[in-house]
Amino acid sequence: MDTEDNTCCTGPGYASPQEAIKAPAEKVIYTICIYTGTGIEKPDYLATIDVDPDSPTYGEVIARTFMPIIGDELHHMGWNACSSCHDDSAMSRKYLIIPGVRTTNFYIVDTGTDPRNPTLYKTIDGDEVKRKTNLSAPHTVHCLGSEIIVSMLGDADGNAPGGFLHLNKDFEIVGRWENDITGMNYNYDFWYQPRHNMMVSTEWGAPNTFLPGFDLEDVGKGKYGQHIHFWDFKGKSIEQTIDLGEEGLIPLEVRFLHNPDSTHGFVGATLSSNIFHWHKDDGEVVINKVIDVDPIDVEDFPVPMPGLITDILVSMDDKYLYFSNWLHGDLRQYDISDPANPVLTGQVWIGGQLGKAPVVNGRAVEGAPQMIQLSLDGKRLYVTTSLFSTWDNQFYPNMKEAGGVMLVVDCDVENGGMTINKDFLVDFGKEPDGPARAHESRYPGGDCSSDIWV
């Protein structure tokens, strides 16, 4: 097949969410796989997976792009160009920026030259990042027109609060992006809505706290976040900080609706297992809890077990909200036609601590739904099962031997509803170098958790 047959879009992006929805179906998906923390002394890598049902290699890993060193802990990634620069003929969605949380190394991977066989294009040394910016532990990567900004979770020594790294389109370090982080205790995810001069960021914890694993006592000591920050995007400073309190412990993934005229958005409070909705009313931010996942008493678990909401996303048409409960083991779909009043329309079970689906598609699952990526037309939800190496080892210790999996959940975009596709399973326990764990995924043509319009 030639390049055009394997990508949705080789340009910088789509003119609107409506155009993105109508794009051809994805042919490959790129997924981060890690050996860090598994006991296997191999570098982490980017797996290219064939997701074309008409292909003879459907559901198989067709390429592995290994990083040059061991121990990066690749985690999240993002494109050099997204739909915010769709009208810039000088830009092309050709490169994935893939940072390592533990090393602060950045790997620029060329997916545009041969989408079925990506290659390493450039490395940004983590020590250089630390030296020039006093930042470490990169997380979310967003295109900002022709520039790139990355949320950084710590300073050079792994202490909070971190900040934001600014790279130019040639992947050179410009410096720190923000002008002022007053009010920010910790850092994690972010999203921006330029038509309203809004940016939102969330809080996890200092790298020195979360890298070794999760200690419940650290929550009581205030070592994890419970605030959400609304920024003056142009001024690059925090305009308003909201304390979510006990109902909003560890707010992680954050999403605006894709409609660039909207001020509505959602954040998942991971430990409290709640979803909060915000919007602007007469220029003021209003935020309310709209979904609760009740904790469940489980034998030998020290407290009632939370669902642990670890990823959320919004469909490109802004109709459905999806999120994963990594401890309970379920994925949920909510109709958000009225964003302030979500309605549960679908739910499936995959692995998890509650024992409701220990085997899926004939494969025992060690882990549970974690990272999710939705097709642009909203019909296919790709699901992986690893959270973070040390946290995996605590809560799902058998994942070391079993490895992770990727599944597809078919979504009814008209009436709501979800079913696990019985014909698709990527078993990362059978990788050539030993069991690997799969984390975040991206498409060549852009995706629901990265595309932003100006």
Residue 324: predicted pLDDT: 98
Cβ atoms of 50 and 60 closer than 8 Å: yes
Predicted confidence at residue 268, as pLDDT, reads 98
> Could you give the CA distance from residue 108 to residue 125 in angstroms, rounded to a whole number?
11
pTM: 0.96
- Note the Cα 367 to chain centre separation in Å: 17
**Domain boundaries in the chain?**
3-442
At 49-62, the pLDDT tens digits run 999 999 999 999 99
Separation of alpha carbons 83 and 453, rounded Å = 6
- pLDDT, residue 1, reads 31
CB within 8 Å of 119: residues ≥ 6 apart: 65, 109, 110, 113
Residue 85, pLDDT score: 83
Which positions of the chain have pLDDT values less than 50? 1-9
* Cβ atoms of 319 and 276 closer than 8 Å: no
Task: Give the per-residue pLDDT at 146.
Answer: 83
In contact, 219 and 271? CB cutoff 8 Å: yes
Cis peptide before 397 (omega within 30 of 0): no
User: What pLDDT score was predicted for residue 446?
Assistant: 82
Q: Would you state the CATH architecture of domain 3-442?
A: 7 Propeller (2.130)
Measured CA distances, 222 to 159, 172, 185, 248, 294 (Å): 14, 35, 10, 13, 23
Query: What is the model's pLDDT at position 169?
Result: 94
DSSP state of 261: T
